[in-house]
Amino acid sequence: MDLAGRLERHLATWLGAWPPSGPLTVVGSERRTRPGWDGTVYPVAGVATPDGAVLSVPPDLVEAVRAAGDDLDTVAAALPGLAGRPDARFGRGVFRWCHGLLDPAGDDADAVWLPPGDERVPPWLAVFNGDVLVHLDEHGRYGAGVGRKRHDDWGQELSVATAEHLRGRGLARRLVAQAARRVAEEGAVATYLHATSNTASAHVAQAAGFPDTGWWVLGLPTAS
């Protein structure tokens, strides 16, 4: 199965339906009531493309959400109250996925795959539910890393960070591309999400081979 096919399977599994059947497709999924990759319940999730959006909510909220309106902006305004989070704010972030044209610079020779529990892995990487890719300096100390959120058999979301003293050397770009190749070898597709204001993350994603195609990830803050 090609990467586009894996992405479709991932989104259908993660959201409950894919692709959108119109400007706004509201679906109910039991995944909105169960812990996600990190043990947290995410009551609202969605992905929007220029052609339409799929919004996934708990099954018992489907009819109320559909009745709230026919377009995403109207429904987004009503969602916090409907989901029992009146103080929450519906949010959008950039959704990117690996199309296969990855950074050709090659793998980072100083990067190794480690289990999250390895003592060399910093706390922010230790929470991920798959092996992490870590750049180590000549003394074996952490300098940069990529974590994988394994949402299902078809999709793995990548997150990257670089120690301040090593920024500007292309480490993040190479690590993201290297991790995406590993994800593809495992039969899944790599995704990359970031806030619209995070220009540094946007540059890393674009350079690594994750183009911005006008897709958005949708959701509410996680339940406390």
Q: What is the mean pLDDT of residues 194-207?
A: 96
Q: Is 59 domain-assigned? A: yes
Distance between CA atoms of residues 143 and 164, nearest Å:
9
Q: Is 30 domain-assigned? A: yes
pLDDT tens readout for residues 1-23? 899 999 999 999 999 999 999 99
Distance between CA atoms of residues 49 and 96, nearest Å:
11
CB 188 within 8 A of CB 180: no
Q: Is 78 domain-assigned? A: yes
Q: What is the pTM of this model?
A: 0.94
Q: What is the mean pLDDT of residues 132-161?
A: 95
Q: Is 196 domain-assigned? A: no
pLDDT tens readout for residues 66-111? 999 999 999 999 999 999 999 999 999 999 999 987 877 678 888 9
Number of structural domains in the chain: 1
Q: Is 131 domain-assigned? A: no
Q: Is 206 domain-assigned? A: no
**Angle at the Cα of 181 from the Cα atoms of 20 and 99, rounded to 5 degrees:** 35
Would you state the pLDDT for residue 224?
Answer: 45
Would you state the pLDDT for residue 140?
Answer: 87
Which residue range forms the structural domain that includes residue 11? 3-97
Written as one string, the DSSP assignment of 91-131 is EEEEEEE--S---TT---TTEEEE-TTSTTS-HHHHT-SS-
CB 157 within 8 A of CB 191: yes
Q: Is 44 domain-assigned? A: yes
pLDDT band at 222; cut points 50, 70, 90: low
pLDDT exceeds cutoff 70 at 158: yes
Q: Is 18 domain-assigned? A: yes
